[in-house]
Structure 1
Amino acid sequence: MSASEGVSSAAAAGGILTIGVDAVVANWKSLAARVAPARTAAVVKADAYGLGAAPLVRPLYDAGCRDFFVIVLSEAEALRPLLPPDATIYVLNGLLPGTAAAYGNGILPVLNSIAQCRAWAEASRGDRPSVIQVDTGMSRLGLDTAEQQMLADDPGLLAATGARLIMSHLACADEPSKSASGEQLAAFRAARERLPGLPGSLAASSGIFLGADYHFDLTRPGASLYGIETSPLAEGVKPVVDLRVKVAQIREIETGTSVGYGYTFRASRTTRLATLATGYADGWWRRFSNGAGAAYHGDTRLPSVGRVSMDSFSVDISALPAGTLAEGDLLELIGPHQSADDLARSAGTIGYEVLTSLGRRYHRVYR
């Protein structure tokens, strides 16, 4: 019999991560209404940006979503049993050697090179569909201009790929003042002229807010579904994530006492501290040390003191009346007082990285 038998996962965990399923669905519906009559997919790669794809894909399907994008084949295979047969799952990283036989049953490879087009054509001979990705300036994935022309010059090869969509990806859609998106739009239109008759997909989350010229036939929101600010033009995106972590210990230290690894903090006065049961293994980065990060109790900001360690960090709770907190109480790390994007700005990164860094040790609640 295990020592933890009879103890709930919520009681045993160092924090509670709440994901608003209704908020994810509401964000999808809002984006779908914005781009109609274009279709709206859901990008659920990286386990839905760290929030858990399995509990989210069926509610999105029930809201009307029929197109789901992942990165690798294993992600698609995990989601296939969770979705009805008319849902399509696209694998963005392309046709890796030795994987062609695994595709089918509504799982489509995104072909990113002329070599992949040829390999897929040989394996499927037009009997299984695919997606053609073209590079419009990002130099990451997709057929370059020369490869596009090679495909256009070989109608038999194009037919044998079973292509049902042509897509590309914008590099600077989150910076609408840059000319790059307009240049990529022109390049995508040129690619569609080379490979006519295929529905198009260009805009992901931030691209949606650039306007109808970018919507084509299918849009691919990801981060916007999960409450991330993807563009200064973005509007109407609901917050999705709430993270509360537990107080593991409370103590009072005297003037001159040091806190944490490296003794980087030394108390200049008598100070009350709460040690919280989360650290950089849980996505609370070491750069949030010594006041760069904080927890909240109600409206009161409680700054970090000392270095964040792998499994814990300390906050100064001197601003709270004595006795306000006890071991096991919860403090806000992500919520109404600081969003994932707020944390990202303070850490010099983006909200995507905040969400995908959240560890697996929190008790998760899908609301």
Structure 2
Amino acid sequence: MPQILSSSILRIDLDAIRANYRTIADRVAPACAGAVVKANGYGLGAERVAAALYREGCRAFFVARLVEADTLRAVLDADADIFVLNGLDPGAEPRCAGAGHIPVFNSSSQVAAWRGLAVARGVALPAALQLDSGMSRLGLPLAEAERLARDPAFAREVDLRLVTSHLACGDEPDHPANAAQLAAFAAGRALFPGVPASLANSGGSFLPEDFHGDIVRPGVALFGVDPGPAATGLRPVAALHARILQIREVAAGTGVGYGLDHVASDRQRLATIGIGYADGWPRNLGGVGRAWWNGVPLPIIGRVSMDSLTIDISDPRAAALAEGDLVELIGPSQSLADVARDAGTIPYEILTRLGARHARIFVEAGQSLDVGDRA
């Protein structure tokens, strides 16, 4: 029924996600592999994705915000650790501690608030520290980390579970910044002997063993996107199709869509399909991108609207297309990377913008695990 109620269908292959996780985990062993499932599991559905990864053996999950951690806790057993990468907003400390999440602190103020709660409760509270190893985004400067390491009260108040940092150029294996960040992170993690360390993101998971530390944090690689030239063996995860709402023939000189940006130079057979920028399909693919049907490219003409777009189906090989049929937007004929290239962006953005109106079909062990019309 949800497939009937929705004009677009997003198929998520949980077997492929599990296989990608295993590929990375096997590659980085003896280091462990966690999973970054922020932004609603990169747009695909964090609860289903995380549960599948848990079944594959993952026990460390990373999100960006506290609300995302709350969502995951409902579907993961107590032995799974959930790290909140952005740390906590002021006042959120009791909520986080009560739920058993592990905040990743990036500033002195975040650390101080957590320590204050620990003192008030008379117990060391679990947390992680992110160090700025050279990206200049989030993380404590080395001097601040040294101050904490020298403070005996810090060890009594904070149960430090992880020391982490983030690679700026992990998808570029030969970039000199990688070696510089590795050296800086080595100096920072040495301040906290015995505490597990994590530097490698998706790209870093395919860098040499020195970068793997104790745990790697793949994100987009789990969803089949190659994070750099060294990445191999990853399977595509998402397939997106949209339904033809209407077919019409227009004469030469006819304008199409908002602004009448496209004017037919000859007679054309057109199809309007039920997907638009409100569903995460990039508006700038108008006149540039395409849909596909049975290996036949169907150019997008005119502007992408909020709820629909128009494709040219004049190709004789598409003559059998009819109203109600589905055309491919992501799949065997057009990868996420292809769409991102045409839109002038990166696969991360395409994935995370996929909207809640797609009927989501989760497939595992060759069977439909769940059919839902919301994320």
- Normalising by the smaller structure, the TM-score range is over 0.9
Is 1:193 the counterpart of 2:186? The answer is no
Is 1:293 the counterpart of 2:289? The answer is yes
Give matches, 1:189-338, under 5 Å: 189-290=186-287, 292-321=288-317, 323-338=319-334
Separation in 1, partners of 2:212, 2:353: 30
Q: Check conservation: 1:114, 1:151, Cα contact below 8 A.
A: no
Separation in 2, partners of 1:180, 1:99: 35
Separation in 1, partners of 2:77, 2:318: 55
Residue in 2 aligned with 1:83?
76
Could you tell me which of 96, 106, 122 is aligned with 2:116? 122
Could you tell me which of 115, 135, 140 is aligned with 1:138? 135
Q: Check conservation: 2:271, 2:310, Cα contact below 8 A.
A: yes
Q: Structure 1's 234 and 322: CA in aligned 2 closer, same or farther, altered over 3 A?
A: closer
Is 1:74 the counterpart of 2:70? The answer is no
Could you tell me which of 107, 115, 140 is aligned with 1:113? 107
Which amino acid in structure 1 is aligned with residue 310 of structure 2?
S
Separation in 1, partners of 2:275, 2:115: 50
Residue in 2 aligned with 1:39?
32
- Segment of structure 1 superposing worse, 238-247 or 319-328: 319-328
Gaps spanning 5+ residues in structure 1: where?
1-7
The CA deviation at 1:265 is 1.0
The CA deviation at 1:175 is 1.6
Q: Identity across aligned pairs (percent)?
A: 50
Separation in 2, partners of 1:321, 1:122: 69
Q: Check conservation: 1:229, 1:351, Cα contact below 8 A.
A: no
The CA deviation at 1:103 is 2.3
- Segment of structure 1 superposing worse, 93-102 or 264-273: 93-102
Residue in 1 aligned with 2:161?
164
Q: Map Cα deviations across residues 244-280 of structure 1 (whole Å, 9 max, x no partner).
A: 1000100000111111111111111111001111111
Could you tell me which of 90, 95, 99 is aligned with 2:88? 95
The CA deviation at 1:347 is 1.4
Is 1:177 the counterpart of 2:171? The answer is no
- Segment of structure 1 superposing worse, 94-103 or 41-50: 94-103
The CA deviation at 1:195 is 2.6
The CA deviation at 1:300 is 0.6
Residue in 1 aligned with 2:371?
none
Separation in 1, partners of 2:74, 2:55: 15
Separation in 2, partners of 1:323, 1:303: 15
Q: Secondary structure of the residue that 2:125 maps to in structure 1?
A: coil
The CA deviation at 1:194 is 2.4
Q: Structure 1's 321 and 341: CA in aligned 2 closer, same or farther, altered over 3 A?
A: closer
Q: Check conservation: 1:306, 1:314, Cα contact below 8 A.
A: yes
Q: Check conservation: 1:71, 1:92, Cα contact below 8 A.
A: yes
Q: Map Cα deviations across residues 87-120 of structure 1 (whole Å, 9 max, x no partner).
A: 1100111132111111245411111122222221
Q: Secondary structure of the residue that 2:316 maps to in structure 1?
A: coil
> Root-mean-square deviation (CA), in Å?
1.2
Q: Structure 1's 322 and 57: CA in aligned 2 closer, same or farther, altered over 3 A?
A: closer
Which amino acid in structure 2 is aligned with residue 60 of structure 1?
L
Q: Structure 1's 366 and 218: CA in aligned 2 closer, same or farther, altered over 3 A?
A: same
Separation in 2, partners of 1:322, 1:163: 60
TM-score by length of 1: 0.95
The CA deviation at 1:13 is 0.6
TM-score by length of 2: 0.93
What is the aligned length?
359
Separation in 2, partners of 1:173, 1:80: 29
